[in-house]
Amino acid sequence: MAYRRTDQVSARLAQTRRQILNSAREIISELGFSGAQMSDVAQRSGVATGTLYRYFANKEELCRQVFREVSTREMNMLATIASSDAPPEERLAKVLRTFAGRAIQGRRLAYALLAEPVDVGLAEERSRFRRTHAEIFAGILEEGVASGAFRLCDVRLSAACMAGAIPTVLIGSLAPDAEALETDAERIVDEIVAFCFSGVSHPDTRTFQTREERAAS
C-alpha cells in the first residue's frame, strides 16, 4: 500500500475546487458565461487549464455548478420571504421588490442568469431557476386568491407575467440606461411592483369600458 488520500490533501483539493468555482463566478459576473474561457478561469485560480478537468467534467459542468450556487442563494432569499406569515399582498410586494432590487444591484450577473445566450446545459439550469421564481410567485398568488386578497386569476400565468416583466424592464434592450437605474432605482422598482400588483388586484373598472361609459357612471 503506497498511497492513501489524507485529510490534509482532501482539504487542499476542496480548497482548489472552491477556488475554481470562485474564480469562475467572478469572471462570469464580469463577462458572462460565454465570455468566461477555461484558460482564464484556470489562470485566475492559479492552476493549469488541464487541472480544471480534474475537478469538473467540462466547461458546462463548471458553469452549471456556478449557476446553481448563485441561483440557489437568490431563490432561497425569495423563498424565505414567501414563506413568512405576513398577508399575501405584503409577501408578494416584498418578493417582487427583492427580485427587482437584486437584479438592479447585480445587473451583470442577473444578465448572465436570466438573459445571456447560453446553450442547452445552462438553459436547463435557467429553466429551473425561472420556474422556481414563478412557483414562488404562484404560491403567494394562490393563497391570496383563496383568501380573497387577489382577484380570481390563472395564478401560474400571472406569475409568469411577473417573472417575465421584471427582467425585461431591468435587463437588456428595454431597460433604462445604467445611470437611470442607479439614480431612479426606487421609483422604477415601485412602478414595476405596482404594475405586477394591479395585474392580480381586484378591478373596479371593467377592462373594456370606454371613456363615455366611465363618464356616465
Whichever of 27 and 109 has its CB closer to DNA, that residue is 27
**Binder of residue 197, out of its own copies, DNA, none (CB less than 5 to 8 A by kind):** its own copies
Q: Is there a contact between 167 and 110 (Cβ–Cβ < 8 Å)?
A: yes
- Determine the interface stretch with its own copies among 43-51, 56-64, 102-110, 209-217 (rule: CB under 8 A): 209-217
Nearest to 153 by CA among 204, 199, 205, 89: 199
Residue 73 interacting with its own copies (CB under 8 A): no
The residue among 131, 158, 24 whose CA lies nearest residue 75 is 131
Residue 209 binds its own copies, judged by CB under 8 A:
yes
Q: Quick one: cell of 14?
A: 476542496
Sole window of 58-66, 137-145, 162-170, 195-203 interacting with DNA (rule: CB under 7 A): 58-66
Cα dihedral sign, 19-120-29-71: negative
C-alpha cell at 85: 406569515
Partner whose footprint covers residue 99, from its own copies, DNA, none (CB < 5 to 8 Å by kind): none
Query: What do you get for the CA distance between the two ends of the chain, in Å?
Result: 92
Residues 78-97: x where in contact with its own copies by CB under 8 A, - otherwise, as a string? ---------x-xx--x----
User: Interface residues with DNA (CB under 7 A)?
Assistant: 1-6, 8-9, 12-13, 16, 36-39, 46-51, 53-55, 58-60
